[in-house]
Chains A and B, each alone.
Chain A
Amino acid sequence: MREVWIQPQHAPVLLKVEKLLRKPNAHPLIHALKGVSAAMSTGSVTTQTLLPDLQSGSLAASRRYTFSLVEGLEPVIQAVAHDYGDVNVYIAVTGEIAIAQATLFPVARVRDTARLNDRILRTEKLFDLANISIDTHPDGLEFYVIYGALRAASALSDIEFEIDTLARNAVDAAGAYREFVK
């Protein structure tokens, strides 16, 4: 029995939390609360705050990934996936959204974009947590890219999982669509 001081309007939430904490398997809640308190104490996540987290995280520790910053007006994190042929994954945080993206191949190298697009629309679901789109670089060159978006406030392990999944999906997608590339 102990007193709890909260904002009166949060009473229903506290009640729910209390009920969940009575259960013996409350670990998921505790895990989630850790992420929440980290997000609330460190303020909002930015590309700059994410980089040191990734560099000291499990992907970097296992030497499977190298993380660095691409300097610029809007800095972006570059991850090199050593397990997946050193494919480059770029990570940017804006507001509440974090994006991880890898370039598949230039549009200019595709023999028949209509057929490729058809194939992509039918098979994209195979690549979990990822979307495929066409992006135009400032110099006008176009690329097929694969990307995933998630909440910037997600736990580091979730962001790492997204990056790792994306790197694997990027190489798999390149393989799946290579027959359309010259």
Chain B
Amino acid sequence: MSGVLEKLWTALRGAANEAGEAAVDVNATRILDQEIRDADAELRDARVALAGMMGKQTVERNHLTEKQAKLDEYAGYIRQTLTKQKAAESAGQAAEAAKHSALAQEVAAKYAEQEALITASNSVVAEYGKNIDVLKQKITAGETAIRTLKQRADTVKAKQHVIKASAAVAAASSGTDSRARSALDSLERIEKRQEEALAQMDAANALSAESTGEALEERLRKAGVVPGASAASDVLARFKNEGPPSEGSGPAT
């Protein structure tokens, strides 16, 4: 995996030197695809090796079973021979006993030989087992690596598609076109809307303040603080205080 990243960095440096950083994405796709192919091939090899190793282990296990059977057979012979030797000894047949003893000795040697073979065979089976475990781990790691590589390659490709699409949309529309709106454009648009909304609220507040002002004036007028409806009675009162009116004359003209 680290090999992939190293190759990517190399591509990145190369591209930076050539002042063509768009090449990075293209290189990334190419390198990742190649890595996936390599990892796939490695995985296939590992699976073939695993199958071979498991086959060999099965064959060795079969041999082991055969050897074990042979060992059991020898054990039987030894017991039989020893029994016969004992019987001969108690019957006082010294020559017969010696013959059986020699035979037991011979079979015991075979038994020991077979035991050594079984020990060797066991260690071979165990050795295959270790190799099988290593291969299985390698396969699991390889599968994980391929999944990760594929996800990276997919991400890079999906990003390239998105880049092409947004570039195409941007190219096909004018600067203020809503179809190619960047987040900054949108933010400014939201703020403009908010400003407009604020301005509208200010205007509405001002209006409502004015109307509240009118209502207040009205109330003051009713309380007689502000001249208004009550002024008429004031006027009449002033006329009444002038005393009796003379003929042909009215209030001051």
Taking beta carbons and an 8 Å cutoff, which residues of A are in contact with B?
47, 70, 72-76, 78, 80-81, 84-88, 90-99, 101-106, 135-143, 146-147, 149, 170-171, 173-175, 178, 181
Cross-chain contact B186 with A87 (CB below 8 angstroms): yes
Cross-chain contact B154 with A88 (CB below 8 angstroms): no
Q: A156 vs B190: C-alpha distance in the bound complex, in angstroms?
A: 28
Task: Tell whether A70 pairs with B168 under 8 Å between CB atoms, given A98-B158, A99-B162.
Answer: yes
Contacts of A90 in B (CB 8 A): 162, 165-166
Per-residue CB contact flags for chain B residues 188-199 toward chain A (1 = under 8 Å, else 0) read 111001000000
Q: A90 vs B150: C-alpha distance in the bound complex, in angstroms?
A: 21
Cross-chain contact A104 with B182 (CB below 8 angstroms): yes
Cross-chain contact A170 with B183 (CB below 8 angstroms): yes
Contacts of B164 in A (CB 8 A): 72-74, 76, 138
A93's nearest neighbour on chain B, judged by CB, is B158
Cross-chain contact B165 with A72 (CB below 8 angstroms): yes
Task: Tell whether A94 pairs with B184 under 8 Å between CB atoms, given A72-B164, A88-B169, A136-B163.
Answer: no
Which candidate, B53-61, B115-123, B173-181, B222-230, is the interface stretch facing chain A?
A: B173-181
Q: A139 vs B168: C-alpha distance in the bound complex, in angstroms?
A: 10
B47 at interface, CB cutoff 8 A: no
Contacts of A136 in B (CB 8 A): 21-22, 25, 163
B161 at interface, CB cutoff 8 A: yes
Contacts of A174 in B (CB 8 A): 182-184, 186-187
Cross-chain contact B187 with A76 (CB below 8 angstroms): no
Contacts of B160 in A (CB 8 A): 74
Task: Tell whether A86 pairs with B181 under 8 Å between CB atoms, given A70-B169, A140-B22, A171-B187.
Answer: yes
13 additional contacts (CB under 8 A) given A143-B182, A174-B187: A47-B161, A75-B165, A85-B181, A85-B185, A85-B187, A85-B190, A88-B169, A94-B157, A95-B150, A103-B183, A147-B159, A149-B158, A171-B183
Task: Tell whether A92 pairs with B183 under 8 Å between CB atoms, given A70-B168, A136-B21, A139-B167.
Answer: no
- Chain B contact residues (Cβ within 8 angstroms of A): what range? 35 or more
B171 at interface, CB cutoff 8 A: yes
Cross-chain contact A149 with B183 (CB below 8 angstroms): no
Q: How distant is A84 from chain B, measured CB to nearest CB, in Å?
A: 6
Could you say which of B21, B185, B193 has the most chain A C-beta atoms within 10 Å of its C-beta?
A: B185
Contacts of B161 in A (CB 8 A): 47, 74, 76, 92, 94
Q: How distant is B226 from chain A, measured CB to nearest CB, in Å?
A: 49
Cross-chain contact A72 with B168 (CB below 8 angstroms): yes
Select B159's contact among A85, A96, A101, A175, beta carbons within 8 Å: A101
Q: A178 vs B165: C-alpha distance in the bound complex, in angstroms?
A: 25
B205 at interface, CB cutoff 8 A: no
Contacts of A171 in B (CB 8 A): 183, 186-187, 190
Task: Tell whether A87 pairs with B162 under 8 Å between CB atoms, given A70-B169, A72-B168, A139-B167.
Answer: no
Contacts of B158 in A (CB 8 A): 92-94, 97-99, 149
